[in-house]
Chains A and B, each alone.
Chain A
Amino acid sequence: MLSKRIIPCLDVRGGVLTKGVKFVGNVDIGDPVESARHYYEQGADEIVFYDITASHEGRGIFLDVVERVASQIFIPFSVGGGIRTVQDMRDVLLAGAEKVSVNSAAVNDPDIISQGAAQFGSQCVVVGMDVLKVGVSEKIPSGYEIVIHGGRKHMDLDAVEWARTCEALGAGELCVNSIDADGTKDGYELTLTRMIAEAVSIPVIASGGAGNPQHMVEAVTEGKATAALIASIVHYGEYTIPDIKAYMTGKGVKVRSVW
């Protein structure tokens, strides 16, 4: 049986790790390669690196970080942030990342999804969606809108409709990040996660709001996600990945244990 995945997300800025609360007031918390190794040894099922400033400050991609990670950890990892072109995708994949996550660039130019899928395979292409709850309207029938640039720009695009578009264009997975829940530690946005998971047949990763292991159980049961992204609750040592997995196992959720 497939295990539910626990995926630590490492936000990187200028080569160091940060974790923002609602995308402001970031605090530096360490070296991304060391952190990746630590989570790898603890049993993370996958790791995400996100260049948090890249999409609006034009930062380059941390290819040296990616290369160092690739030579040390033998689980899949993905890289996002600052991916604007198919060439950007190629660069991070050649540096050793398994997957590449596109967000703003895909909203601005959806063709990057189909081009990436055609050239590297759908399994490489994760679409990250930043979503804000806005209430149901004619334009936004689901009540959830796609935003970009860390929530600063509304796109007049319905999140469920966008999820279906991404799937049709060849996305291999969707990472659904609730801007409302991000940094609150009150739990994932389960309504949103479930709505998207039911609208597509590709895997959905829940993101934003994890505060305790019960939240992860909820994400993969009620939320119907196949994976849960986590950040501050492990970055600050509140919980370890083995703690989280032991809890999930106790709740009847199948997770992988490290050999």
Chain B
Amino acid sequence: MIAVIDYGMGNLRSVVNAIEMAGGNPEVVSDPSMLQAAERIVLPGVGAFGDCIANLTRTGFAETLDREVRGKGRPILGICLGMQVMARRGVEFGEHAGLGWFAAEVLRIQPADPALRVPQVGWNDLNVRREHPVLRGLPKGGDVYFVHSFQMCCDDPADILATCDYGGAITAAVAKDNIVATQFHPEKSQDVGLALLANFLRWNP
């Protein structure tokens, strides 16, 4: 079972549909104790950083995730805000501590080109910085779908799997041990996204 975490941050339907399409068996999970039965975990999320971490903490997911992911090494995929909350700190609507799985800060995008709009909305091509099983077989320079105003800035560039160019390099995917996360939405990135999800379903970190 692939646990898709429901902590009140947005619609999970497209994530569930896409995991099914990629060959997985998703289950929406709103009770942290259910994670014990999960083979893998997907942490989606839209909205603001502060609300997200507050909801994860209030529902008990923050603590359980730490145990399951960092303690037991359960594979996890974070998507969009679900990636950002894995950072040490976010600054959207005030400063908030994150899960702290990545030595990173989540900062507002400031494109060098003033003609570029914030949020970044749309399809952008990936520049793969580092090979990773979850990116295996994806087309070179394939476009994936982004919607975000903030980005994860990593202390250690080795954590970065891929970037996209939006008036400067934007972190598009990160990975460390059994954790992988994307700023873009694989569930909305057509065949490239579905291939990434299929890779995640097969990944044995």
| Residues of A bordering B, CB below 8 Å | 1-5, 40, 45, 70-71, 74-76, 93-96, 98, 120-124, 172-173, 201-203, 224, 226-227, 256-259
Contacts and interface: CB of A to CB of B under 8 A. Distances in A.
12 contacts: A1-B165, A2-B123, A3-B122, A3-B124, A3-B143, A5-B122, A94-B11, A96-B13, A201-B118, A203-B117, A258-B190, A259-B192
Contacts of A40: 190
User: Main SS of chain B's interface residues?
Assistant: mixed
B27 to A, nearest CB: 17
Given A120-B10, A203-B117, A227 B145 contact: no
Contacts of A172: 119, 121, 147
A71 B17 contact: yes
A124 B119 contact: no
Contacts of B195: 259
Contacts of A201: 117-118
Nearest to B111: A2
Given A2-B166, A74-B188, A124-B46, A96 B11 contact: yes
Interface of B: 10-11, 13-14, 17-18, 21, 46-48, 115-125, 139, 142-143, 145, 147-149, 165-166, 185, 187-195
Given A45-B123, A172-B119, A201-B118, A259 B139 contact: yes
A3 B13 CA distance: 26
Contact residues of A: prevailing secondary structure: loop
Given A40-B190, A75-B145, A256-B143, A70 B122 contact: no
B14 A96 contact: yes
A98 B190 CA distance: 14
A173 B118 CA distance: 10
Contact of A256 (B48, B118, B123, B147): B123
B45 to A, nearest CB: 10
